Amino acid sequence: MKQKEKIRIGCGAGFSGDRLEPAVILAEKGDLDYLVLECLAERTIALAQKRKAIDPAQGYDPLLERRIALLLPLLKKNKIRLITNMGAANPVAAAGKIIEIAKRQGISVKVAVVTGDDVLKSISGDEIAIETGNPISRSGQVISANAYLGANAILPALETGADIIITGRVADPSLFVAPLVHEFGWSLDDADIIAKGTVIGHLMECAGQITGGYFADPVKKPIENMSTLGHPFADVWPDGSTTISKVEETGGNITLATVKEQLLYEVTNPYQYLTPDVSADFTTVYLKQDGKNRIKVTGGSGNKKPSTLKVSIGYKAGFTGEGEITYAGAGARERAQLAGEIIQQRLKSQFPDLRTDYIGHTSVHPSSLANVCQPYEVRLRVAGKAATADQAAIIGEEVEALYTNGPAGGGGVRKYVNEVIGIVSILVDRNKAKSSVIVKNYEH
């Protein structure tokens, strides 16, 4: 295979619930070689595991069908390969669904499935959680265990020549590192070049966050045409340097500031950003403006990859019950606070850690930080944990009962009960998660 001069990779989704349209525009007008859809947050896979337990044909991304139906004709027409972790807890079933869509649309497709991240069967419960220092079984009933696979697990899938590569849990940047290794023949043991690829993956994986979306602040950081916010693509050269840009007609902006914010996003140690592929040093990265909405990224260096893989463990953590009610006008804060006190008195014996928040006043920042003035309206929120859904429902019921039992003028009650899936992590030997590739084909 002749090595390409540069590779263009777009990122069409930055989380499971992301908008569909930007990926379509990238596939249509982005002149891409690869499209990546990153759709797995920490907890997404545990929730998917629950759906799979109810129906063995489920457990992949809930938006997979809509995304693939929109994208498949464009991927084929423009010869773009798709790499996505939309397989979630059931990548094999996801591939089956993709084949079904291809049949319906009369389009030939080859799908490669990466499996091996699901290590639930090998979990004993005695493994020590990094977060608690205790055995994971003590956190609650374990319902999922997924290892973060690396680029090495995706490479054999790319080598099959598949149009679509679908995975479960893999490290987000590895979704980008793998096609670069595949195209440029990089060595997985060359820590510096893999680190450069990892920087690119990290910059791209949250899609609209780098094009100004989550960056925007109309007062200090205005961004153009937010409603048509485009998602990014990266032009990558064989030396690992890259330019991040987007389709011209789309909204948003890519500036030094948007790229800096994204480079540091969720990084707990900029000297050692750990993935299954490498320990990347982000402090050696350089950024340069290279025209409007174009940022050139150079530098980035790395050290040997960790000897262990991170495994994300999902466990049952009971239920939460919540109730909300709003007070407005004169004395709104005082009436909301009285309501909160009444609920506390009624429920404190049953819910010792019951929480009351005053939305519009001090609900997300403590009062020591807030520029506290008398708010015109305040929404009381009460939340507590319970072992069962029935118990959790009591909290919303008590809030609703403030309608007739007072104080005066409360309105707009909403009540919620949610099951809680907690997440802790363990480290396992790399050999414990053996990946493999399954190919599914449809010839029209």
Partner 1 sequence: MSIKLYEIAHSRAGDKGNTLILSLIPYDEKDYELLCNLVTADKVKEHFKEVIHGEIVRYELPNICALQFVCLQALAGGVTTSLVMDTHGKTLSYALLEMNLELPETT
| Nearest by Cα to 298 from 206, 205, 193, 207 | 193
Q: By C-beta, is 367 or 436 nearer to partner 1?
A: 367
**Total residues at the site for partner 1 (CB under 8 A)?**
51
Which among 280, 281, 285, 308 has a CA at the least distance from the CA of 296?
A: 285
CB of 347 to partner 1, least distance (A): 13
Q: Residue 57 or residue 264: which is nearer to partner 1 going by CB?
A: 264
Residue 357: name the closest of 378, 331, 380 by CA: 380
DSSP H or E run through 310? strand 308-328
Main-chain phi, psi angles of 126, to 5 degrees = -85, -10
Contact 68, 98 (CB under 8 A): yes
Q: Which is nearer to partner 1, 186 or 215 (CB)?
A: 215
- Nearer Cβ to partner 1, position 320 or 435? 320
Least separation in angstroms between CB 381 and partner 1: 7
CB 194 within 8 A of CB 173: no
Asked if 5 touches partner 1 (CB under 8 A), the answer is no
Q: Tell me whether residue 160 or residue 363 sits nearer to partner 1 (CB atom).
A: 363
Task: Name residue 289's beta-bridge partners.
Answer: 295
Of 63 and 317, nearer to partner 1 (C-beta) is 317
Q: Which of 54, 79, 121, 217 binds partner 1 (CB under 8 A)?
A: 217
Tell me the window of 25-33, 78-86, 382-390, 426-434 that interacts with partner 1 (CB under 8 A): 382-390
With b for 16 or more beta-carbon neighbours within 10 A and e for fewer, the 151-161 pattern comes to: bbbbbbbbeee
Residue 160 vs 272, nearer CB to partner 1: 272
Residue 213 corresponds to which tokens in the numbers above?
């979306």
DSSP letters along 393-425, please?
HHHHHHHHTHHHHSSTT-EEEEEEEEEEEEEEE
Q: Which residues within the stretch 13-42 sit at the binding site for partner 1 (CB under 8 A)?
A: 42
Complete edge-to-edge strand list for the sheet that includes strand 34-37:
273-274, 279-289, 295-303, 242-246, 232-236, 7-13, 34-37, 81-84, 164-167, 109-115, 436-442
Site string for partner 1, 238-277 (x = CB under 8 A): ------------------xx--xxxxxxxxxxxx------
Burial classification of residue 318, based on how many CB atoms lie within 10 Å of its CB (0-12 exposed, 13-18 middle, 19 or more buried):
middle
Identify which range of 20-28, 172-180, 193-201, 377-385 contacts partner 1 by CB under 8 A: 377-385
Which residue stretches of 315-388 are H helix? 332-347
Residue of 43, 51, 294, 414 interacting with partner 1 (CB under 8 A): 43
- Quick check: 414 binds partner 1 (CB under 8 A)? no
Q: Which stretch binds partner 1 (CB under 8 A): 9-17, 62-70, 162-170, 216-224?
A: 216-224
Q: Is position 148 an interface residue for partner 1 (rule: CB under 8 A)? A: no
Q: Is 310 in the site for partner 1 (CB under 8 A)?
A: no
- Our finding on whether 371 is near partner 1 (CB under 8 A) is yes
Residues near partner 1, by CB under 8 A: 42-43, 131, 214-215, 217, 220-221, 256-257, 260-271, 282-287, 299, 317, 320, 353, 355, 357, 359, 363-366, 368-369, 371, 381, 383-385, 420-423, 425
